[in-house]
Amino acid sequence: MKQTVKYLAALIGLPCVAFLVCSLGADFFLNQPWGVDWQKYPAPNAQALEILTANEFFELYVRTTDGRIFSCHKYEGCEQVLTDEIAFSSDLCGRTRRYDPPNPPGIMVDSGDFVLCGIDVTVQESYVILSDGSIWKWSYSWGWGDRLLAAVVVFAGTIGTFVIVCIVLYWLVLRKIRKFKQQASLSGG
């Protein structure tokens, strides 16, 4: 009876522990911005001073030391714009950030964090203006794919542990049966 309780506890307890460990591991490893570095962004021809806003079209609006406003696009460079030409984003869901970006590659003058919320993905963009006037961008995205991958890791780890526990328990029970049969044949013969 004691052995049965131990086997049952192992059969139920170990997969539960595996589920917990896999859940914590998946949450930690899959929700970290591994390997994401600062990328140089186009800067206006005047000294950038202040980050105003960003939008979902990879445009960053900055104010320069002489008061002009520039729209800097990741692929097209920077051009001066009027105040009423600033394209605010409807997908911008705040200036809150999920992750702290690494230290920027220089002395920071200004920074801005923007989170763009889409249907299937969320993107955090952090911009900095350095003392030399250069602009740098750090970006990280997460979405339903991350959650799906985490679920697969948790499920596979739990099922794998359950299978291993079943194999070990089967082996232990088989060993007990052989030992019992051996003792029965020795005492009967």
**Residues 86 and 101 both lie in one domain:** yes
**Residues 44 and 86 both lie in one domain:** yes
What is the tally of structural domains in the chain? 2
Over the stretch 107-136, which tens digit does the pLDDT of each residue have? 999 998 888 777 777 788 889 999 999 999
Over the stretch 26-78, which tens digit does the pLDDT of each residue have? 666 555 555 578 999 999 999 999 998 887 777 899 999 999 999 999 888 99
Its domain, for residue 113, covers: 39-142
Q: Looking at beta carbons, which pairs linking 74-83 to residues 24 or more positions away fall under 8 Å?
A: 74/41, 74/42, 74/137, 76/42, 77/42, 78/42, 78/43, 78/44, 78/45, 80/44
* Residue 62 contacts residue 50 (beta carbons within 8 Å): yes
Q: Whole-model pTM?
A: 0.60
**Residues 13 and 86 both lie in one domain:** no
Over the stretch 156-173, which tens digit does the pLDDT of each residue have? 877 888 888 788 878 878
Is position 75 within any domain? yes
